[in-house]
Amino acid sequence: PWLRHVFADGGYAGPKLSERLAKIGKWTIQIVKRSDAANGFELLPRRWVVERTFAWLGRCRRLAKDFEATVASATAWLFLAHIRLLTRKIARNG
C-alpha cells in the first residue's frame, strides 16, 4: 500500500501499536500528544484532519451508526461515502 505513515492519539503511545505495525510492513508512527501546559482547548497538529474527516462521514446516514455485519461491508460503504464527498467537491470547483 502507498500509506506508510500513521498519526495516532496519545492513547496509542505504548509499544503494542508499533509492534503490530512492524509485523505487517514498514510503517512509521507519529504520536500526536497534547502539551501538559495546555489549558482548555488546543488545536493539535494533524489531528484536526482526522476529526474533520469523521465529521464529514458522520453526515452520511448509513455511517451514523454501526449497522454493518462484516468489515468488508463497512469498508465498502466507507468508500462509497468518500466517493460521494469527493465528487461533490469536484463538481463545486469545476
Decide: helix, strand or coil at residue 61.
Answer: helix
Q: Answer yes or no: is pLDDT of 20 > 70.
A: yes
* Length of the chain, in residues: 94
**Nearest to 46, CA basis, from 36, 57, 34:** 34
Q: pLDDT per residue over 23-44, tens digit each?
A: 888 888 888 877 777 788 777 7
Task: Give 34-55 as a DSSP string.
Answer: --TT--S--PPTTHHHHHHHHH
Cell digits for 82? 468518500
Q: Give CA–CA dist 60/9, Å, rounded.
A: 24
Of 7-11, 16-20, 35-39, 80-84, the poorest mean pLDDT is in: 35-39
Sign, CA dihedral 44-48-51-55, equals positive
Q: Are 63 and 77 in contact (CB under 8 A)?
A: yes
Q: Using one digit for the tens of pLDDT, what is the confidence trace for 42-59?
A: 777 777 777 787 788 888
Helices 47-58 and 71-93: angle between axes, nearest 10 degrees: 100
